[in-house]
Amino acid sequence: MGGPVIKEISFKLNGRPVSCPVDTRLTLLDLLRDSFRLKSPKRGCDETVCGACAVLVDGRGICSCTMLAVEVEGSEVVTLEGLGSEEEPNPLQRAFVELDALQCGFCTPGQIIGATSFLLSLGEEEVSEEEVREAMSGNLCRCGCYDNIIKAVIRTAEVVRRGEWKLR
Amino acid sequence: MSGSYVEVEERLRSYPRVDGLKKVTGLAKYAADWDFEDLLYGRVIKSSIPHGLVKGVDTSEALKVRGVRAIVTCLDDQTIWNAGERFHRRRVFTDHVRFLGDIIGAVAAESRFDAIKAAGLVKVEYQEYPGVFNVEDAMKPNAPQIWEDGNVRGPLITNYGDIEGDFARADLIVEAHYRTSRVANAQMEPAASLAWWDGDRLTVIAATQSIFGCREGIARDLGLPLEKVRVITQYKGGGFGNKASSMNYDLIAAILAKRTGRPVLVELSREEEFSLVHGRWSTDQHLKAAVTREGRVLGVKLKAYCDVGAYTRHVGKFVEGPEVYYSTTSWSSEVYVVYTNTPPTGHMRAPTGPQSCFAAESLMDEIAHKLRINPVDFRLRNAVIRAHNTLRLTSNGLRDCLQVGAEEFNWYERWREPPEDPSKLNDTVKGVGVAIGAWHSRVGRGEARLSLGQDGSLKLYVGVVDIGTGAKTTMALIASRHLGIPLERIEVTWGDTDLVPYSIGESGSRTTSFTGNAVKEAALKLKRQILVAASRLTGMDEDRLEIRGGRVVSRDGRVSLDLGEVVRKAGAEEFQAFASTEQGLGEDEERLSFAAHFCEVEVDSETGEVKVKDYLAVHESGEIVNLLTAESQVKGGVTMGIGMSLTEGLIISPQDGSPLNGNFMTYRIPNATQVPRIRVKFVEVEDPYGPKSLGEVPIVPVLARIGNAIFNATGVRLRDLPFSREALLRGMGRL
């Protein structure tokens, strides 16, 4: 039995360049949670269905539970920790709180990453409710906050469209 | 009087959660998020057969895995886990395997990889028994015995009135058979527990709905005095009933931590969550109703069988509820609880509620149709007046829910008779449905402590854990309202048995009532203290002073004192108040929360696809403390009910009793595209005991209501859950 294979990787994490040795079997989720102690991505299903582990990789929301850590070599990774703070929440985070788009909060980091990924992809047009529902369908919420999540995302999309919040 | 300054408008305002920012920034810390340098990872060792005895366990290969620090099995640990189970003593690590995956032991290792690998290398030798994987087989006279006292418990009986007399004088007898499937709680946070010992004192970071229930269970099962156990739960990713009290994974973490002398985190995978942690049991219900020509239901006979799996943590009647929300003069239920070699069952949001309501409220709809009575009128005619025809309800807004809902939904305009011939339907058809439901609104014991500091800030100590219900916010709001101190000046301490007084925890929809009453009581005590001190300082009579916006003010406007100033000038460090309250219902009383749900469905008559459209949920839960989070509770219950109606059902393997769809890929909980906008309306009725329950009741009427709307749209009555496209197409003559 051979031991684990270790590889050195470098990438950008929440705006900072980082490098570290990783076990090649390690998922991005475990790397973020266990090595970098960033606990916002949650383990929900381990199979790319629930979206609780979502992070942004080069501006796109992906499930970190099924991406290998070695795959982020050279990429830019953003977790919820990199997106606004308790003192200065961004408009999306404020909308989530004000409209009660969360209950237990476990899926919330993934919901906000998923919504951010959607907002980053927006053009000039107004978004429809159907479009938002479709975009958010990869983030499950068992507490059943969909109604309020959709409202929060639509409200923020409008803020982005009006140019009042620049994501990039 | 207490709270006389609380205006209705003020009460109905909505407040965002006090912990909202922690949740949207990723700061909220769940059990698996705690960091320890020397943390070990725990992994359970599961049986590879559904039924049999463990004859031997060989750990030699597993122990060779680098990083393994301890392996514990049923051969060297006899701990009994029986929290919440009054029927059977269940071992944490079993030597009698009762379902595939039953826990035989556990491993602690330096990494997840090591733990998984070692758990897989443990070899177990069994004496295999034949298994039974459904109710019918389990009830056969020669069936293999899962428990020493047999596979069947019951009949569990509920009886009131003269049932035979009512059936004899009925004009019409209507009967039907309904089935509901096993469903999973499927909360987003899989089971997790982190434990460590400081000498002989155990600390558990639990994902529990009740820190005090959890502490009591762990202490009892490990033979420790209560004060030797500390349970902390800061944030918890839902539970819906399957994280109440202490769980076996809490004990496993504690046992592994003891063996290794290090902190151990035990996490279950999603698939383990589906098969090892309990969900809702299935039911097979036969109902028969005695009805008059005018549409009065006189009595109901119910016979039901429940598949509760290898273990169950439920202790009630398993099929119950509807007998309290109709005004029948008699009722007779006979329920059989059947053990099978399948995954365990237990509590899930309103444990007996939705499946029992489904059968009864579908039957009521069938009766209304037979008698050509509008479904809303039929329910108004039969809605409860006295529970069990004898008990006085402390408050009852059921008829209001129906009437307000019918008006808001425009029911009488939108409802029409269902199509006569389902086979003639084309394209998309629409229909509307209604169903009522109720759930227990218990009263009981609560505690709360308040302290007002020299800076005028208020600290509130409550034993809640807040699993998403918004309990911290609700408790702070109650203190705020009764004290006249703004919400933002209140700091809540919660979720740690070392720091806070007792609370029942977030189960049974009890927090707002049990703990909320204690918060109110403590707030009123503190208010009295403040006013007495302020009266002394100002020379004004107490009854001419009040607290508004965090200041003591006189009614004539001459006095305006900051609360901190009152504390300082009184020469105190702080003002403290503690309350321990206990309510009990009178013997002739029953207390319920009520709901009436209305909706429209769209059915594609070619594919059988059902879409839930316009949804209106009208609820009566007494006083609503926070409209915003109360609405969220209702939307959540409706969403979960839509899942149970249309997509969710655990498929049990006929070969080995394991769940064939125990993962999120194949067990489909609703996503954002499957849930409509949900309108929520509250009818507020005063109740002598204060706010009533809300968390569970919203799921109760959903299944029946969707079934009734499908019937209204298509003329096809579906009696098995989840409603399948196949059954619907067959009903429409398409299959």
**Each residue of B601-625: pLDDT tens digit?**
999 999 999 999 999 999 999 999 9
Inside any domain, residue B630: yes
Residues contacting B30, CB < 8 A, separation 6+: A39, A42, A106, B189, B192, B207, B234, B235, B236, B237
Q: What pLDDT does B3 receive?
A: 31
Report the CATH number that the domain containing residue B712 is assigned in CATH.
3.30.365.10
Q: Concatenated DSSP letters for B650-677?
A: PPBPTTT--BTT-STTTS----TTT---
| Pairwise pLDDT comparison (B659 vs B11), residue with the higher score | B659
Of B582, B598, B632, which closes a domain? Answer: B582
What is the rounded average pLDDT of the residues B569-582?
A: 97
Nearest to A105 among B468, B637, B663 (CB): B468
ipTM: 0.97
Question: Domain check: are B563 and B592 in the same one?
Answer: no
Beta-sheet pairing, A6-13 with A76-78: parallel
Q: How many CB atoms lie within 10 A of CB A124?
A: 5
Residue of A nearest to B26 (CA): A40
Nearest to A137 among B238, B639, B672 (CB): B672
Question: Domain check: are B95 and B229 in the same one?
Answer: yes
Q: How many CB atoms lie within 10 A of CB B464?
A: 31
Omega of the bond leading into B722 within 30 degrees of 0 (cis): yes
Treating both helix axes as pointing N-terminal to C-terminal, what angle do B211-222 and B248-260 enclose, rounded to 10 degrees?
60
Inside any domain, residue B568: yes
Q: What pLDDT does B179 receive?
A: 98
What is the rounded average pLDDT of the residues B287-296?
A: 98
Q: B519, B478 in Cβ contact below 8 A?
A: yes
Q: What is the arrangement of strands in the sheet containing B592-604, beginning at the earlier edge strand? A: B428-440, B592-604, B610-620, B678-682
Chain A residues with CB under 8 Å of B188 CB are 42, 44, 50, 52, 104, 106-107, 140-143
Spatial separation of the C-alpha atoms in residues B34 and B192, rounded to whole Å:
11
What is the rounded average pLDDT of the residues B502-523?
A: 93
Q: B512, B583 in Cβ contact below 8 A?
A: no
Q: B35, A37 in Cβ contact below 8 A?
A: yes
Residue of A nearest to B21 (CA): A86
Q: What is the arrangement of strands in the sheet containing B103-109, beginning at the earlier edge strand? A: B68-73, B103-109, B40-46, B264-267, B192-198, B201-206, B229-232
Tally DSSP H helices, then E strands, for chain A.
Answer: 5, 5
Predicted confidence (pLDDT) at residue B1 exceeds the cutoff of 80: no
Inside any domain, residue B449: yes
Inside any domain, residue B176: no
Nearest to A144 among B14, B30, B636 (CB): B636
Question: Domain check: are B70 and B13 in the same one?
Answer: no
Among B25, B194, B272, the strongest candidate for a mutation testing the A interface, having the largest count of A CBs within 10 A, is B25
Chain A residues with CB under 8 Å of B14 CB are 100
Best CA proximity match to B174, nearest among B336, B306, B359? B359
Question: Domain check: are B356 and B455 in the same one?
Answer: no
Residue B12 binned pLDDT confidence (cut-offs 50, 70, 90): low
A56 touches chain B (CB under 8 A): no
Of B217, B241, B276, which closes a domain? Answer: B276
- Which DSSP state fits B716? P
Element (H, E) at B520: helix B511-538
Nearest to B672 among A25, A79, A146 (CB): A146
Q: How close B381 gets to chain A, by Cα (Å)?
A: 33
Residue B695 sits at the vertex; the CA angle it makes with B684 and B216, to the nearest 5 degrees, is 130
Tokens of B282: 């299935």
Q: What pLDDT does B603 receive?
A: 98
Beta-sheet pairing, B297-309 with B282-291: antiparallel
Nearest to B17 among A100, A133, A138 (CB): A100
Q: What pLDDT does B83 receive?
A: 62
Q: How many CB atoms lie within 10 A of CB B2?
A: 12
Question: Domain check: are B24 and B78 in the same one?
Answer: no
Structural domains in chain A, CATH included, are: 6-82 (3.10.20.30), 91-161 (1.10.150.120)
> What is the per-residue pLDDT across B456-505, written as a single tens digit (0 to 9) for each?
999 999 999 988 999 999 999 999 999 999 999 999 999 999 999 999 98
Residue A66 sits at the vertex; the CA angle it makes with A61 and A68, to the nearest 5 degrees, is 95
A18 touches chain B (CB under 8 A): no
Chain B residues with CB under 8 Å of A107 CB are 188, 237
Q: What is the mean pLDDT of chain B?
A: 95
A12 touches chain B (CB under 8 A): no
A89 touches chain B (CB under 8 A): yes
Among B23, B110, B669, the strongest candidate for a mutation testing the A interface, having the largest count of A CBs within 10 A, is B23
Q: Concatenated DSSP letters for B390-433?
A: TEEES---HHHHHHHHHHHHTHHHH--PPPS-GGG--SEEEEEE
Question: Domain check: are B212 and B316 in the same one?
Answer: no
> Which residue type sits at A26?
L
Residue holding tokens 């959709």? Answer: A150
What is the rounded average pLDDT of the residues B690-705?
A: 97
> What is the per-residue pLDDT across A60-95, written as a single tens digit (0 to 9) for each?
999 999 999 999 999 999 999 999 999 999 999 999
Question: Domain check: are B541 and B462 in the same one?
Answer: yes
Residue B4 binned pLDDT confidence (cut-offs 50, 70, 90): very low
Q: What pLDDT does B7 receive?
A: 40
Q: B465, B492 in Cβ contact below 8 A?
A: no
What is the rounded average pLDDT of the residues B576-598?
A: 97
Beta-sheet pairing, B264-267 with B40-46: parallel
What is the rounded average pLDDT of the residues B342-353?
A: 96
Residue of B nearest to A42 (CA): B189
Question: Domain check: are B648 and B718 in the same one?
Answer: yes
Burial of B570 (0-12, 13-18, 19+ CB in 10 A): middle
Q: What pLDDT does B86 receive?
A: 64
Inside any domain, residue B675: yes
Q: Concatenated DSSP letters for B459-483?
A: EEE-----SSS-HHHHHHHHHHHHH
Question: Domain check: are B468 and B569 in the same one?
Answer: yes
Percent of residues, chain B, with pLDDT higher than 70: 98
Spatial separation of the C-alpha atoms in residues B634 and B681, rounded to whole Å:
10
Q: How many CB atoms lie within 10 A of CB A62?
A: 22
A65 touches chain B (CB under 8 A): no
Best CA proximity match to B593, nearest among B696, B456, B444, B511? B696
> What is the per-residue pLDDT across B193-212, written as a single tens digit (0 to 9) for each?
999 999 999 999 999 999 99
Residues contacting B545, CB < 8 A, separation 6+: B531, B534, B535, B538, B552, B553, B554, B555, B559
Per residue, the 3-state secondary structure of A110-167, as one string, reads: HHHHHHHHHHHCCCCCCCCHHHHHHHCCCCCCCCCCHHHHHHHHHHHHHHHHCCCCCC
Q: How close A142 gets to chain B, by Cα (Å)?
A: 6
Nearest to A107 among B27, B188, B631 (CB): B188
Spatial separation of the C-alpha atoms in residues A30 and A21, rounded to whole Å:
13
Burial of B555 (0-12, 13-18, 19+ CB in 10 A): exposed
Inside any domain, residue B162: no
Inside any domain, residue B564: yes
Residue A2 binned pLDDT confidence (cut-offs 50, 70, 90): low
Best CA proximity match to B356, nearest among B253, B281, B265, B450? B281
Best CA proximity match to B610, nearest among B679, B532, B707? B707
Percent of residues, chain A, with pLDDT higher than 70: 99
Inside any domain, residue B191: yes
What is the rounded average pLDDT of the residues A146-156?
A: 97
Q: What pLDDT does B84 receive?
A: 52
Q: B642, B354 in Cβ contact below 8 A?
A: no
Residue A167 binned pLDDT confidence (cut-offs 50, 70, 90): confident
Q: How close A74 gets to chain B, by Cα (Å)?
A: 25
Nearest to B21 among A46, A79, A86 (CB): A86
CB pairs under 8 A between A and B: 178
Tokens of B371: 């008698």
Predicted confidence (pLDDT) at residue B507 exceeds the cutoff of 90: no
> What is the per-residue pLDDT across B54-92, written as a single tens digit (0 to 9) for each?
999 999 999 999 999 999 999 999 999 986 556 688 999
Predicted confidence (pLDDT) at residue B174 exceeds the cutoff of 90: yes
Spatial separation of the C-alpha atoms in residues B642 and B637, rounded to whole Å:
9
Domains: count for chain B = 3
Residue B6 binned pLDDT confidence (cut-offs 50, 70, 90): very low
Q: What pLDDT does A168 receive?
A: 74
Question: Domain check: are B16 and B40 in the same one?
Answer: no
Beta-sheet pairing, B201-206 with B229-232: parallel
Question: Domain check: are B437 and B562 in the same one?
Answer: no
CB contact under 8 A, A97 and B16: yes
Domain range for B604: 282-442+587-731
Residue B9 binned pLDDT confidence (cut-offs 50, 70, 90): very low
Question: Domain check: are B353 and B244 in the same one?
Answer: no
CB contact under 8 A, A106 and B189: yes
CB contact under 8 A, B636 and A139: no
Spatial separation of the C-alpha atoms in residues B662 and B183, rounded to whole Å:
10
Spatial separation of the C-alpha atoms in residues B460 and B492, rounded to whole Å:
5
CB contact under 8 A, A137 and B25: no
Residue holding tokens 């009591």? Answer: B216
Residue B316 binned pLDDT confidence (cut-offs 50, 70, 90): confident
Residue B313 binned pLDDT confidence (cut-offs 50, 70, 90): confident
What is the rounded average pLDDT of the residues B224-238?
A: 97
What is the rounded average pLDDT of the residues B442-454?
A: 97
Q: A73, A26 in Cβ contact below 8 A?
A: no
Of B228, B252, B276, which closes a domain? Answer: B276
Spatial separation of the C-alpha atoms in residues B658 and B270, rounded to whole Å:
14
How far is C-alpha B650 from the chain's CA centre? 19
What is the rounded average pLDDT of the residues B328-340?
A: 98
The C-alpha torsion from B523 through B526 and B528 to B529, rounded to 10°, is 180
Percent of residues, chain B, with pLDDT higher than 90: 94
Residue A8 binned pLDDT confidence (cut-offs 50, 70, 90): very high
Predicted confidence (pLDDT) at residue B10 exceeds the cutoff of 60: no
What is the rounded average pLDDT of the residues B551-565?
A: 94
